Amino acid sequence: MARIVIPADYEHLSLAYEFVEAQAKALGLSNAEIYDIKLATDEAVTNIILHGYCGCEGEIQVDVEQHENALIVVLTDCGRLYDPTKKIAPDLNVPLSRRSKGGMGVYLMKKNLDQMSYQQTDDGRNRLTMVKKKALA
Amino acid sequence: MSSLKINVVNKEGRVPVTVLQLIGQVDASTYTSLQEKAEEEKKEGADYMLLDMTEVGYMSSAGFKAMHSIYSMLGGITDGGKTPHLGLLNPTDEVSRIVKTLGFDSYINIYSDLDEAISAF
């Protein structure tokens, strides 16, 4: 397992998703699969900064496990309890001119990941687990 | 840290087109600079904009939020079709995939050639 811990601010956002991107490349995921897990990590970390810490100082732990056919990314933080899996997706049938500007990040996470689950840890932290499977050759 | 550089190039087609050449990544740390640059150009009189995505290797939903804001700001929108005021040039395969996933391709024209794009406005 590989781990980094970043300060919960936008200045360090790219460290998180570039770290996951490097792990995804090492596992041999396709370009599309790499983009999907990188994007999901970005969206999740952005939500933690925005909704979890609300601009306050904090840290986000990024753990990445390489399995034979999947990459598992686990984000843990001590911000306000926030479960992105419960966020309602935007209605993409609504014309863009009348569509809300938010909610696209979680929609893309759900759409592009193979699994996404949230739990509150025993010590009250947020833990988000994201799985991207490697397509069979 | 992510970086986004924005060059502005003015082109003349049937109408004047402001080309915003984006270089870098568009994420939550950089998307406001895209919004602000577009707003600045609109205040200077730009009514037609082309976002040149050739040098954008990565864009998150924050970039689409900026694009949505620019789309709304430029106006001239009908519920049924693509806006005549905003276009995208050369998004990468992965960014194109996200454009389609979010349905933005139903409302914004995507081009692969600069001259073709300018003449289409």
| pLDDT tens for each residue of A90-107 | 898 888 988 888 889 999
Query: How is domain A2-133 classified at the architecture level of CATH?
Result: 2-Layer Sandwich (3.30)
Q: Mapping DSSP to helix (H, G, I), strand (E, B) and coil, where does residue B120 land? A: helix
- Asked whether the beta carbons of B69 and B33 are under 8 A apart, the reply is no
What's the pLDDT tens digit per position in A103-133?
899 999 999 999 999 999 999 999 999 999 9
Structure confidence at residue A23 (pLDDT): 97
What pLDDT was estimated at residue A55? 82
Q: What are B's interface residues with A at a Cβ cutoff of 8 A?
A: 1-2, 25, 27-29, 58, 60-62, 64-65, 68-69, 71-72, 77-80, 93-94, 97-98, 101-104, 106-108
Give me the residue from A11, A38, A107 closest to B29, CB to CB: A11
Examine the pLDDT at B1 and tell me if it is beyond 90. no
A75 — pLDDT class (breaks 50, 70, 90)? very high
pLDDT at A137 over 80: no
ipTM exceeding the 0.90 mark: yes
Any idea of the CA torsion for A40, A46, A47, A49, to the nearest 10 degrees?
150
Of A32, A97, A104, the CB nearest to B77: A97
Establish if A51 touches chain B: CB-CB under 8 angstroms.
no
- The full set of domain ranges for chain B reads 4-120
A54 — contact with chain B (CB < 8 Å)?
A: no
- The highest-level CATH class for domain B4-120 is alpha beta
Axis-axis angle for helices A31-47, A13-27 (nearest 10): 150
